[in-house]
Structure 1
Amino acid sequence: MSDYPHLLAPLDLGFTKLKNRVLMGSMHTGLEETQDWNRVAEFYAARARGNVALMVTGGIGPNPEGSVAHGAAMMTSQKDVDNHSIVTDRVHEAGGKIAMQILHAGRYAFSPDCVAPSGIKSPISMFAPKELDAEGIEKQISDIVACASLAKQAGYDGVEIMGSEGYFLNQFLVTHTNKRTDEWGGTYENRMRLPVEVVRRVREAVGHEFIIIYRLSMIDLVPNGSTFEEVVQLAKAVEKAGATIINTGIGWHEARIPTIATSVPRAAFAWVTKKLMGEVSIPVITSNRINTPRVAEDVLADGCADMVSMARPMLADPDFVNKSAAGKADHIAPCIACNQACLDHTFGGKISTCLVNPRACYETELRIEPADTPKSIAVVGAGPAGLSAAITAAERGHQVTLFDRAAEIGGQLNLAKQVAGKEEFWGLVDWYRAMVNLHGVSVKLNTEVSATDLEQFDEVIIATGVVPRDPQIPGQDRDNVVSYIDILNGKITAGTKVAVIGAGGIGFDVSEHLVHDGNSTTTNLPEWMKEWGVTDPESHRSGLAPEGPRPHAPARKVTMLQRKTTKLGKGLGKTTGWIHRASLTMKNVEMIGGVNYEKIDADGLHISFGPSRDNPQLIAADTIVLCAGQLSDRTLADTLEGKGIKCHVIGGADVAAELDAKRAINQGTRLAANL
């Protein structure tokens, strides 16, 4: 019997059957914009071969004013049909089904031509939208219907109509963005008229044997959003209008509550979807932070939904479903919800990929194929760079020996996993351990390697990581001064008042660790909801608690400092930096920039400001933690080069900036793919 009977059960839609209960949710990858349709097709085909029941593309615009940005993908012409047919043909050849998401961005469009129900500028866009008149609304409906018809012509099995996350249709639903007094505004019946009319006319245009998914915002998390009574009313109306499936949308993009970051508890919003179960007779999908087959199975077994949507986990491992069915869940590359290579890339105008799986969206370029001539390869350093290189090389048939001076693999990942909100890193280290065993990498731990030890290998890869930078502060040799390493690995317990020197990623992680002291809300959903001010939308409109966020008291008084005059945390991720700053602000962490470190004594850290060293102050502290950056550990690499032994230097040993695991894993994988 399967370990996941609910997850792997087929779902009969009447006119077609889905092979299991897994939807690959929509992600904007940027692939369609490359116009390399073979590349787009291979991305989706890889997931189809992995046996995902149904995939949804990234958002495709129905017209220029509704596209997310100038140059974004649209479905408006026969040329678009021909291009997308390449994708659907490849997916069908692989045995899969695929739906195209129709995304009208409304006021979220990054364009001066954006339109909306009312002329209210979004806080996350630089353009104020044009308020649509009745004729303009009719044009939007007609364009969305035409887009759906073209999608069917292109061979798609269905469409997903994007009605959540604060996009166009969602903007009509709530008084937060809809101030109209005509038939498209005012009462809720009028405000929901547009999405219902869109579904009705799309169904009329595409016929009965075509999947229509409606993505419905079940908890808006913005002021003046929908009540749950309104959510149910809309769901019933959308079903009556012809939707095949209702998919869950969580939160608007402008909401100041995290919904998919790694610090959000797993399946944090499945309870919201469960409230809709039984209110409609069509299948309901739940989403957000479902990243393992066990979590997905439990959500389904608990009656929270009929299907689960997993988007980023399908970036991390296109064979998620196959491995689940084969009883090899420990072989699934885990989505750690870091956002660094997916959402951060999307909002940075780059092609999305995955920190854990650099092949995601690069399937046609980054190939892992058997080596023509197997070699003996030494990899020194079992952090993310060394592990990715060792596993990839061994997968290709090379004989790989992995050395590390530590007692376990993982390198700096073993520090990251100690931080409150980064519990997913435990699973990443476990996965690396499973992959090392699966591919037969010989692991030598507690081993200090010399240049002489490496002379016998055909290839040598140095991934020795980093060493902390010396900030050269008078008094830093005192007993009250410690390294971030000793704090995170638990060797030293900080006092009640702590000064953290350095406000990069490590400084923020250490501060988070210090204020929580083991009390992580990421593993406690009720506490996480309380901390961020989330409540039942049936009790309070939009799911916002009237009392607002109620964080638990910080475990310590923490002050974080940096020499730079720029905003603290400026280098953090585009889509997660605000979460880290907000979290620490809620814990009363004081953040001070533009300082000079004058000295450390028994009272704490003495600082001043500016070139003239004005305004001297004492930051009273029992413990001062040094997080002042890192330097590449190139000692072994330099010795090898001095002996004339060629080596490849990767990861932190190559570039130490910000301990960039994304770059390290990508670098290690690409190097090993070409050896």
Structure 2
Amino acid sequence: MMPYPHLLAPLDLGHVTLKNRVLMGSMHTGLEETGDWNRVAEFYATRARGGVGLMVTGGMAPNREGGVFPGAAGLFTPQDVQNHRIVTDRVHAAGGLIAMQILHAGRYAYSKDCVSASSVKSPISPFPPRALDEAGIETQIADIVTAATRAREAGYDGVEVMGSEGYFLNQFLVTHTNHRADRWGGSFENRMRLPVEVVRRVRAAVGPDFILIYRISLIDLIPNGSTWDEVVLLARAIESAGASILNTGIGWHEARVPTIATSVPRAAFAHLTARLRPEVSIPVITSNRINTPEVAETLLASGAADMVSMARPFLADPNFVAKAAAGRADQIAPCIACNQACLDHTFSGKLTSCLVNPRACHETVLSYDPALVFKRVAVVGAGPAGMMAALVAAQRGHRVVLFDRADQLGGQLNLARLVPGKEEFNGLVDWFAASVAEAGIETRLGKDVGVEDLGGFDEVVVATGVRPRDPGIAGQERGLSYREVLRGAPVGRRVAVIGAGGIGFDVAEFLVAGEHSVTTHPEQWRREWGVGDPAVTAGGLAEPAPDAPAREVWLLQRKAEKPGRGLGKTTGWIHRAALQMKGVKMWGGVSYLGIEAGGLRISRDGVEEILAVDQVVLCAGQVPERGLADQLAEAGMTAHVIGGADVAAELDAKRAIDQGARLAAKL
């Protein structure tokens, strides 16, 4: 019997049949902006070889003012068309299909030349947009149509017109940003005129035998967004205008509700796709936080959608579909929705990659080719750095032995997976374990490793991780380390957490959640974050209703700045908001005078006080665990030191995994 029969079933679009129900959703990688078209082509071709049914590129600007930033890629010249032809030819040679997303950023464009329905500035851009007049609107429509015809000329199998996430077309749809009184504003029939006209003219220009996807916003998650009746009315009009498929978007970029981060439940918004699907007769795609074939199969089998969109999972593993079809789902490298190497990079102007898969977007520059000479390699430390080094070394033909003093693989990941909202780390540890076993790597666990254990190896990799930093606080023996707390040490109802880095925030979330994680309960998660029903409230916002915190928590740091500034660029606000909802008091500029029987004595703003807490948890950073590396050096043995043992910068799995992979690629 075929595994995942619904996921792997073909989908007939009339002029073309997709080989399965999997869409690789659009992601801005930054590759097109490098100008290295071989690199762009190999990124997409690698995923085509992995079996995905249809791919959508990152957003291509239809004109300069519509680019998400100055210099954003698009099809502006004949040379651009030829460059994109390199991509489509490579994808087709690999047996794949690819559509180009046309993305007009509107007021989200990071440019003084940005335009929109009205001059309403975005909270995520410093530039107020220019309100378009009638001629200006016509120019934008014409440019989008031209982009579609150039996409066809460049060999794309279709286009996706971006109409969600608060971009240009979405800005015309809602009164939040459309204050017009002409035929492009006012009633919803007028406000939806622009996206419908765009789809109608694109279809007329590209002909019937070309995939035309429209990305529709199901729930805006902003004040004065679309109502559900308006969403349905637009969907039907877009179908009538000539769309082949409706893809679904969730939330505007400025929304203060997380939509794709780790703490968002899997398929948290698929119920809305299920509600829309009976309203139209063209295929409907569901999206957001779908990252396993099991989740995708369940959604399709239930009738929630005709296809599933997964974007970042194809950064983590380009062979997602092929592995699922072969019954090897346990070997699919999981997207943990961390955002660290993808969206955080994108919004920092860096090239996108993936924490789990450092080769993502680096396919032509990071190679795991077979080694010229096979060696015996010892890797000491089975955390993320060590496991990745072991896997890549074994893949290249080396004989690897993986050591760890713990009795299980995972290292610091085994602490991260205990934090509410980080349940995806369970899948990451499981994947590492399955991959280590599949690669035939010998493991020697539950034993301290000394110099005498490493004789006879050609290469030694030290990935022994970190240990907590000594905070030097009087009475600190009365406190608990973050490791003890996460592993179940009892704490009272009032707790002070010393250190407001990533670990401090994780521990605070662990403490206020108690035994319960809303990430595994979608309805409770939506209630906590104020995700309502767009049939009840325009935009789908409701009053947040978080559960009472399990404990009263103070999150403290020495730096006289807002706690959490060093958290992820696209996820830091989520962590801060989650703790604020639970009443956590986050204080900077704190001096620690001592832990006493009555609590924690501190000084803040020159005022000394005692926080009457039951327990103090020490999260004051880490230092490299380099004991073995130093012993090897003293014995005259050369070793490669990676991960936390090299640099103890928080629990940075992204850097650790990347470092392990790049070292092993050179052994």
Tell me if TM exceeds 0.5. yes
Tell me if structure 2 keeps the 8 A contact 1:405–1:447.
yes
Residue 376 of structure 2 is matched in structure 1 by 376
Alignment deviations for residues 377-424 of structure 1 (CA, whole Å, 9 cap, x no partner) = 000000000000011101111110011000101000000000000000
Residue 166 of structure 1 is matched in structure 2 by 166
Residue 646 of structure 1 is matched in structure 2 by 638
Residue 422 of structure 2 is matched in structure 1 by 422
> CA separation in 2, counterparts of 1:342 and 1:620?
42
> CA separation in 2, counterparts of 1:609 and 1:287?
46
RMSD value, Cα:
0.6
Amino acid at match of 2:485: I
Amino acid at match of 1:5: P
Structure-to-structure mapping, 1:376-525, within 5 angstroms: 376-478=376-478, 481-490=479-488, 492-525=489-522
Q: 1:540 and 2:532 equivalent? A: no
The structural deviation recorded for 1:452 is 1.8
Instruction: Choose the corresponding residue for 1:607, options 602, 605, 626.
Output: 602
Residue 142 of structure 1 is matched in structure 2 by 142
Tell me if structure 1 keeps the 8 A contact 2:117–2:171.
yes
Q: 1:665 and 2:657 equivalent? A: yes
Residue 648 of structure 2 is matched in structure 1 by 656
Tell me if structure 1 keeps the 8 A contact 2:377–2:459.
yes
Q: What is the SS of the residue equivalent to 2:477?
A: coil
Amino acid at match of 1:432: F
Alignment deviations for residues 469-505 of structure 1 (CA, whole Å, 9 cap, x no partner) = 0001011112xx1000011112x12110000000000
The structural deviation recorded for 1:12 is 0.2
> CA separation in 2, counterparts of 1:71 and 1:647?
44
Structure-to-structure mapping, 1:265-280, within 5 angstroms: 265-280=265-280
> CA separation in 1, counterparts of 2:126 and 2:79?
31
Structure-to-structure mapping, 1:525-604, within 5 angstroms: 525-545=522-542, 548-604=543-599
> CA separation in 1, counterparts of 2:408 and 2:364?
34
Residue 613 of structure 2 is matched in structure 1 by 621
Amino acid at match of 2:591: N
> CA separation in 2, counterparts of 1:139 and 1:167?
17
> CA separation in 1, counterparts of 2:657 and 2:347?
21
> CA separation in 1, counterparts of 2:553 and 2:561?
20
> CA separation in 2, counterparts of 1:588 and 1:477?
28
Residue 102 of structure 1 is matched in structure 2 by 102
The structural deviation recorded for 1:187 is 0.4
> CA separation in 1, counterparts of 2:645 and 2:143?
53
Tell me if structure 2 keeps the 8 A contact 1:455–1:645.
no
The structural deviation recorded for 1:278 is 1.4
The structural deviation recorded for 1:371 is 1.1
Alignment deviations for residues 14-33 of structure 1 (CA, whole Å, 9 cap, x no partner) = 00000000000000000000
Q: What is the SS of the residue equivalent to 1:200?
A: helix
Q: What is the SS of the residue equivalent to 1:48?
A: helix
The structural deviation recorded for 1:643 is 1.4
Amino acid at match of 1:528: W
After the TM superposition, which parts of structure 1 deviate over 2 Å for at least 4 consecutive aligned residues? none
Tell me if structure 1 keeps the 8 A contact 2:494–2:551.
yes
Residue 338 of structure 1 is matched in structure 2 by 338
Tell me if structure 2 keeps the 8 A contact 1:76–1:146.
no
Q: What is the SS of the residue equivalent to 2:291?
A: coil
Amino acid at match of 2:568: G
> CA separation in 2, counterparts of 1:300 and 1:85?
33
Count of residue pairs brought into register by the alignment:
667
Q: What is the SS of the residue equivalent to 2:128?
A: coil
Q: What is the SS of the residue equivalent to 1:596?
A: strand
The structural deviation recorded for 1:183 is 0.5
Percent of paired sites with the same residue: 68
Residue 221 of structure 2 is matched in structure 1 by 221
Amino acid at match of 1:562: Q
The structural deviation recorded for 1:609 is 3.1
The structural deviation recorded for 1:76 is 1.6
Amino acid at match of 2:400: V
> CA separation in 2, counterparts of 1:297 and 1:370?
35
